[in-house]
């Protein structure tokens, strides 16, 4: 399996918009090898993730097998992770979607992306990142009751992204804890308009990205947890670049590649990734095709 990194919110599209990016975790899951699970992890998070059945990929795999009415007596999981953990680039969503897709691969069942999204939403608790990981491209997600839904739109040709990833993570729980329970009506109205405009900007009018990525609902409230990220967002936007906080942060994402200028080098201690938009989402190969 190959699962893309994702960026959620994209400024004003809080808890709804997602974008799949060309930074990937590669997962190999094979049945057999005795009962239980054997896990081998390289790359990002190799020293931090659990090596038992509490591993998020394994939990998602088990949920997928249960949904498919199947069981596997034992599995070996190999993960090569490139998506930074705790940085707002969808590492947990990639693990969940990858584990669910692995259940389809192990059972030889054709991949049902809509069902993967539903199951992933049940595990993750919100559909924005998992939608982009499952479907690729630019996604708009919502909950229909308790069921996660999404539509996928084609990003405008040439759209790209530069991610600035700081060395220190911020937990999603911490970032969400800073958000107020109530926001001014004017801010909500402004974000609704900008979110609608962002759909047009991402699909056909990239010249509007700077205006369309303005946010008044969540980014500034999170500044106490990531002051350097917000300072970088402000600096880049003043220079005319459509910079946003990626997901819950602290990564900063600059959208462009068509009309925007060239994003600068990363600040000291940060890592800069030049990325494109992943068009397909999670991919599953059989052993013969790998």
Q: Which of 172, 63, 53, 59 is nearest to 116 (CA)?
A: 63
What is the tens place of the pLDDT at every residue in 206-237? 999 999 999 999 999 999 999 999 999 999 99
Range of weakest confidence among 73-77, 199-203, 251-255: 73-77
The CATH number given to whatever domain includes residue 191 is: 3.30.70.890
Examine the fold and report which residue of 113, 131, 153 is the final residue of a domain before the chain moves on: 153
221: number of Cβ within 10 Å: 16
Query: Domain for residue 141, yes or no?
Result: yes
What is the tens place of the pLDDT at every residue in 185-198? 999 999 999 999 99
Q: Which domain holds residue 205?
A: 160-276
pTM here is 0.95
Tokens of 90: 């969808």
Give the sign of the dihedral formed by CA 157, CA 163, CA 169, CA 174.
negative
Q: Is residue 204 located within the same domain as residue 128?
A: no
Q: Is residue 30 located within the same domain as residue 74?
A: yes
137 burial (CB, 10 Å; 0-12 / 13-18 / 19+) is buried
Query: Domain for residue 283, yes or no?
Result: no
Strand 13-31, strand 2-9: pairing: antiparallel
For residue 259, what pLDDT is reported? 58
- pLDDT bin (cut points 50, 70, 90) of residue 73 is confident
């Amino acid at each position: 399996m190959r699962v893309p990194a994702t960026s959620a919110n994209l400024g004003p599209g809080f808890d709804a918009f997602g974008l799949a990016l060309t930074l990937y975790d590669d997962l190999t899951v094979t049945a057999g090898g005795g009962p239980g699970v054997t896990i081998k992890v390289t790359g990002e998070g190799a020293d931090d993730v659990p090596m038992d059945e509490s591993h998020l990929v394994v939990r998602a795999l088990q949920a997928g097998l249960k949904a498919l009415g199947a069981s596997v007596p034992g599995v070996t999981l190999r993960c090569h992770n490139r998506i930074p953990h705790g940085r707002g680039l969808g590492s947990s969503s990639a693990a969940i979607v990858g584990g669910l897709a692995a259940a389809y691969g192990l059972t030889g069942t054709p991949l049902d992306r809509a069902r993967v999204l539903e199951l992933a939403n049940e595990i993750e608790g919100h559909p924005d990142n998992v939608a982009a990981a499952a479907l690729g491209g630019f996604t708009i997600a919502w909950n229909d009751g308790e069921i996660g839904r999404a539509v996928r739109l084609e990003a405008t040709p040439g759209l790209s992204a530069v991610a600035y990833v700081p060395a220190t993570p911020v937990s999603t729980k911490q970032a969400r804890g800073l958000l107020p329970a109530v926001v001014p009506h004017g801010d909500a109205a402004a974000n609704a308009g900008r979110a609608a405009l962002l759909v047009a900007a991402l699909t056909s009018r990239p010249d509007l990205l700077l205006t369309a990525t303005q946010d008044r609902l969540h980014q500034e409230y999170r500044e106490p947890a990531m002051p350097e990220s917000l300072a970088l967002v402000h600096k880049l936007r003043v220079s005319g670049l459509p910079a946003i906080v990626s997901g819950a942060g602290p990564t900063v994402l600059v959208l462009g590649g068509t009309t925007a200028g060239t994003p600068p080098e990363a600040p000291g201690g940060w890592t800069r990734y030049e990325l494109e938009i992943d068009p397909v989402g999670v991919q599953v190969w059989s052993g013969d095709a790998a």
